[in-house]
Structure 1
Amino acid sequence: MTISKNKVVTMHYHLTNDNGDVLDSSQGAEPLLYLQGHNNIIPGLEKEMEGKNVGDKFKVTIEAKDGYGEYDEGLVQKLPKEQFAQFPELTVGMRFHIDSNYGPMVVQVDEITDSEVTINGNHELAGTRLTFDVEVVEIRDASQEEIDHGHVHGPGGHQH
């Protein structure tokens, strides 16, 4: 069976950046399951997965624009610290869900001064070129419910 739209793919991966730093890996853990053609994984990797078969092993480098996007300075904002008064334990690295002009998004606290808090709406891997070592473990047809919901159900997938 070949990877194409509406196939459930089981894969192992090892993700590094240009410095060779390991960013994520399924090695020694459960493999990743996703539904091809439903934006469950980054666009560049999903495109590279198309047409692959069980047992295929390959290495691919994904440019930032096809991964988590280019770094956008417009998503970094300094706000008065008073706006965070309800968070007495505010620390760098904390994440918040907010409603923005771009819709709902997650922001991270990047800096705290006596008067300001800098928040950042960029994904932590925005602007990063990513290299994946991939092994395709299994491919199956998705159920109609998985297709309707746009993600994998059951073991290794979403539980309803």
Structure 2
Amino acid sequence: MAIKNNQVVSMQYELKVNGNLIESNLEADPIEFSFGSGDIILGLETRISDMNEGEKREVKVPAAEAYGNYDETLCEIVPISEFEGIDLQIGMILEAENENGELFKATVSDVTKEDVTVDYNHPLAGNDLDFKIVINKIV
């Protein structure tokens, strides 16, 4: 029986981007999520909605239906003085709070003596995602 909204799905997966393994739980415990609740990206949820228990599938989720297309306007140059006491490295993920107290993340994409370029795009933005999916259980 195919998955329906609000059912708990137990799933194993492998995620690759451009042929590079990003993460996998194929040899580990499955994740569990409530289908239709936004626990997983919508583009993946849409592509597994007709799967059944025990079924395996390879799925490609285009960037626009995953973490979005890369948006260069989401990069900002900030004076390095704003990061006093932090050993900045390119690729470092920074966490901060906005004015509303909401957490957000940014990736350091460049560091000079004067400035730091931070990128607010999701690290996988602009990338198509290739999944191997195994639906273990649907409750």
Question: Match for residue 89 of structure 1?
Answer: 87
RMSD: 1.7
Q: Secondary structure at the match of 2:125?
A: coil
Aligned partners of 1:76 and 1:119 also within 8 Å = yes
Question: Match for residue 11 of structure 2?
Answer: 11
Question: Match for residue 111 of structure 2?
Answer: 112
Q: Does 1:74 align with 2:73?
A: yes
Question: Match for residue 60 of structure 2?
Answer: 61
Question: Match for residue 150 of structure 1?
Answer: none
Taking structure 2 as the reference length, the TM-score comes to 0.90
Question: Match for residue 147 of structure 1?
Answer: none
Q: Secondary structure at the match of 2:98?
A: strand
Counterpart amino acid of residue 7 in structure 1: Q
Question: Match for residue 27 of structure 1?
Answer: 26
CA shift for structure 1 position 109: 1.4
CA shift for structure 1 position 100: 6.8
Query: Residues of 1 paired with 2:20 and 2:88: CA distance?
Result: 29
In the TM superposition, structure 1's runs of 4+ consecutive aligned residues that sit over 4 Å from their partners are none
Q: Secondary structure at the match of 1:136?
A: strand
CA shift for structure 1 position 83: 1.4
Aligned partners of 2:52 and 2:135 also within 8 Å = yes
Counterpart amino acid of residue 65 in structure 2: D
Deviations 1:86-138 (A, max 9, x none): x342333132223179x642112121100001111111100000111111000
* Cα separation, partners in 2 of 1:28 and 1:126, compared to 1, 3 Å: same
Larger deviation: 91-100 or 3-12? 91-100
Query: Residues of 2 paired with 1:100 and 1:91: CA distance?
Result: 25
* Cα separation, partners in 2 of 1:40 and 1:114, compared to 1, 3 Å: same
Task: List gaps (5 residues or longer) in structure 2.
Answer: none
Q: Secondary structure at the match of 1:40?
A: coil
Alignment coverage as a number of residue pairs: 137
Aligned partners of 2:95 and 2:103 also within 8 Å = no
Aligned partners of 1:99 and 1:105 also within 8 Å = yes
Percent identity among equivalent residues?
Answer: 33
